[in-house]
Structure 1
Amino acid sequence: MIECDDCLGGFHLKCLKPPLKEVPEGDWICGFCDARKLGREVKLPTPPEGKKRVRTLREKLLSSDLWAAHIESIWKEVDGIYWCRVRWYIIPEETVAGRQPHNLRQEIYRTNDFADIEVIDDI
């Protein structure tokens, strides 16, 4: 899958017109956003009756329904419990000079905050 850098919509490579064989380097804009920028009227596809569109993990993260962390290390204690050390990421809350407000929803920043967390096996 590929995600549009403007609307954050997810698309299967083979479902695009024309289909893509691999994810292109750099930013990618979907046909809907491209058409909207050219001033064309765009009708987005709607989910089937009784279904709703599933949000991507990135959309959940940016709406603060998820936390973002990078696992720096993982280890097993003598009692058999696994732990990991994570570095947290944050979403910027405001723009600074030179940044476009619409780019905020695409950005997360690495912090200096670390935490040791017990790994819970829910499987």
Structure 2
Amino acid sequence: MRYFTDEHEWVDVDGDVATVGITDYAQGQLGDIVFVELPTVGTAVEKGKDAAVVESVKAASDVYAPINGEVTEINGALEDDPSLVNTAPEGEGWFFKMTIGDAAQLEGLMDEAGYKAFVDGL
């Protein structure tokens, strides 16, 4: 199941692991991505708090944790090729994987149809 936040992060849930990235809409707003700062494995992240940073030719932007949990893996490919966030934002351009600290927090996120309606209203 994939969820979305109003800060333009997506979350893929597989069992008790969540994979987090930014949406195609977000990468389009940022422009060409030149640098990604990823969290350290083992870092506890809190819903709505900074978890990573993405820098583009236009601006730097925070990537927020969509739920509470602990970072279990980072996408090392982004350190060598941050443009993956532009070319495959909702696939190979994922940022980090994390444990799900509180599954109930997923209920406050949007599904794909809800996110599309949200973006259409921007």
TM-score, normalised by the number of residues in structure 2: 0.24
| Structure with greater proportional helix content | 2
Q: TM (normalized to structure 1)?
A: 0.24
The structure with the larger Rg is: 1
Higher strand share: 2
